[in-house]
Amino acid sequence: MIHVGVNGYGTIGKRVADAVAAQPDMTVSGVAKTRPNYEAETAVRRGYDLYAAIDDRADAFADAGLDVAGGLEELIEASDIVVDCCPSDIGAKNRPVYEDHGTPAIFQGGEGADIADVSFNARSNFEDARDADYVRVVSCNTTALSRVIAPLEEEYGIEKVRVTLVRRSGDPSETGRGPVNDVLPDPVSIPSHHGPDVNTIFPDVDIDTLALKAPTTLMHTHSLNVTLEAEPDEAAILDLLADESRIFTIPETADIDGAGKLKDYALDSGRPRGDLWENCVWAESVGMEGPDLYLFQNVHQESDVIPENIDAIRAMVTDVDAAASIERTNEALGVGLESLFDARGDREAVPIDD
């Protein structure tokens, strides 16, 4: 069994811990929190050993009635690998601690690419993380874009990728983030950071990205235009995407017109927390104009990187290959949302300018 420590038990950390616990070859050695809030209580309720991420705050946990098993260094010592799920830029401060203990670590996409030996996406560059000491799982948006780019590049070749991202302003628990009543270019300059981040996975892909921030907490929406080196029809693209286990092609007959219904569908399907680990691509949005592919996809920012973290663990500390790891992760979590409706059935192509 791989003993996995989780440093940071918030939006990502709690999902990583549950995903680790679901794996047949992994166990949670413990989770670290900076303060005894409701998430710390939830960790104890789920049976995870709780550690104080900051030593001099251990008494605060005791005062709140929560027992801790030790401090961060004790968690590191108890772990074969640590998944750092701390807020952006905190991981960079934690890396020297992991180095002192000789413990490999995984960081999240909010950290700079230079924090790790490799930026990681399971579908695209699994083997690059083999035996690495430090790996960065790229952000939710970069993860989603990589999942689409990989099969398109392999099957047809790519000349150019253009993406407009309409980003949620914050996660549901981030009550202090905005805007409240506005839509903001974020940033105003071009490109946004997402294109360069994709290039940490696909250094040779020509990609431009623009981003806006909208007053919603639900999901991100991507509008993609990909100029291919071939000219497949829409049906071939749908077949290609539908064969990707971490892409859900939303059929027109499902009557899912936005993020609200997607989340409702996930909850009704029994997904924990209403999580959507897959890219959600609207089948009816897939269109071809010559070599230009167009599509819309939605990205659940709280959960799509979770299976990637699990696969990164195996790439770093086992000899399991990419296909076997992805299959094992998917099976343990239940990744692969499939509708009873047919997203690949015959349909008329809709001109892009309609």
Phi and psi at residue 49, in whole multiples of 5°? -65, 130
Under 8 Å between Cβ of 53 and 32: yes
Q: How far apart are CA 283 and CA 150, in angstroms?
A: 18
140 is known as an active-site residue: yes
Phi and psi at residue 67, in whole multiples of 5°? -80, 140
DSSP H helical ranges for 23-130: 38-45, 58-63, 72-77, 90-101, 122-125
Q: How far apart are CA 174 and CA 118, in angstroms?
A: 29
Sign of dihedral through CA atoms 183, 299, 29, 103?
Answer: negative
261: which residues sit within 8 A by CB, 6+ positions away? 255
User: Which residues, in sequence order, are bridge partners of residue 311?
Assistant: none
- Helix and strand element counts for the chain (H, E): 12, 15
**How, if at all, do strands 292-299 and 287-289 pair?**
antiparallel
| Catalytic residue selected from 85, 86, 140, 280 | 140
User: Which residues, in sequence order, are bridge partners of residue 282?
Assistant: 250
Length of the chain counted residue by residue: 354
User: Which residues, in sequence order, are bridge partners of residue 135?
Assistant: 106, 118
Q: Buried (b) or exposed (e) across 99-133, using 16+ Cβ within 10 A?
A: eeeebbbbbbbbbebebbebbbbbbbbbeebeebe
**Residue 282: exposure state from Cβ atoms within 10 A (0-12, 13-18, ≥19):** buried
**How, if at all, do strands 279-282 and 50-52 pair?**
unpaired
What positions carry a catalytic annotation? Answer: 140
